[in-house]
Amino acid sequence: MIQGTDIGGIYVVHGIRGYEEREKILIDLFQKQYGLEFEFVTESSNSAENDALIAHYFQDDARELMSKGGLFCTLVHILIYEKIVKNNDRYALIFENDVCLIGAGFIEKLHLVMKEAAQLEEGFIISLENSTLKYPSWKKIKNGTYLYEASKGRCAGAYLIDKKAAELMLNDLKMNKCSNVIDWWHNDLINRHVIKMYWAHPPLTEQGSFNGKLPSSISIRSKGYIRRFRWLSQKFVKTYVTRWFQ
């Protein structure tokens, strides 16, 4: 729970083994710096249970269509949706474990986002990140407005979700099992008008596996100075140049 908001849960998509460094970073960031309680969520340690969960939520050829990392990452997002419904969280924050905050004042920025989110029709996801370096056009930006409706997501590294959206996605899975990684699945749900997507602008976070601060656990992206330089260069151009032509 974040004081002054209706955010009931903060969940981090995590892995059972090999992420001890990220775990420490996030504990230092959220608990020690901001005083926030959150939950690491992982797949099961029992392989048979994981197989049953995958059979329940995913199409039969999911293992052929998706990498193991992508499959389990998507599974954990879905397990978080189950938690949101079970815990009756009106709103929840979901982060992947490479989340990096942009600048200072995260809680203050989140309050501004929540003020507008409370006015939205239920059944939405609000992207908090800039990982695809996609932004609302300068022509659409309004002073004092922080949320902009979008036709697709910006990956799934950091987002606010309401309980209704979690319920809608879980209900849709009963008829249309998942066959894509989490961000592509979100886009399919948006296209089919199951849920709505909004972008927070300015964004609050970015993924360390995109900006070069951390290696990716589900792709070939690595951390390092070259990756960091490329990210910062692309970020400058797409933030301050290309948006004028959208």
- Dig out the tokens for 74 from the structure: 């998507």
List pLDDT tens digits, range 189-224.
999 999 999 999 999 999 887 666 665 444 444 556
- The per-residue pLDDT for range 7-18, each reduced to its tens digit, is 999 999 999 888
Q: Is 49 left (phi over 0), alpha (psi -120 to 50) or beta?
A: alpha
When the pLDDT of each residue in the chain is averaged and rounded to a whole number, the result is 89
Structure confidence at residue 122 (pLDDT)? 98
Q: Which two tokens stand for residue 209?
A: 């596996």
CATH architecture assignment, domain 7-130+144-207: Alpha-Beta Complex (3.90)
User: Is this prediction's pTM over 0.85?
Assistant: yes
Amino acid 219: pLDDT? 45
Kindly list the domain boundaries of the chain, sorted by start residue.
7-130+144-207
**pLDDT band (50, 70, 90) for residue 234:** low
**Contacts from 17-20 at CB under 8 Å and sequence distance 24+?**
18/217, 19/97, 19/217
Q: For residue 135, what pLDDT is reported?
A: 86
94 pLDDT exceeds 60?
yes
* pLDDT confidence of residue 241: 56
pLDDT at 27 over 70: yes
As a whole number, mean pLDDT of residues 158-184 equals: 97
Taking the C-alpha atoms of residue 172 and residue 15, their distance in angstroms, rounded to an integer, is 26
pLDDT computed for residue 220 by the predictor: 42
| 95 bridge partner residues | 12, 158
Ranking 128-132, 160-164, 203-207, 213-217 by mean pLDDT, the lowest is 213-217
Is the pLDDT score of 148 beyond 80?
A: yes
The pLDDT value recorded for residue 239 is: 62
Q: Check residue 137 and give its pLDDT.
A: 83
The pLDDT of residue 243 is 52
Handedness of CA 88, 80, 150, 202 (dihedral sign): positive
> Average of pLDDT values for 35-62?
96
Residue 241 CB contacts under 8 Å (≥ 6 apart), including other chains = none
Instruction: Look at residues 120, 145, 148, 124 and name the one whose alpha carbon lies nearest to residue 135.
Output: 148
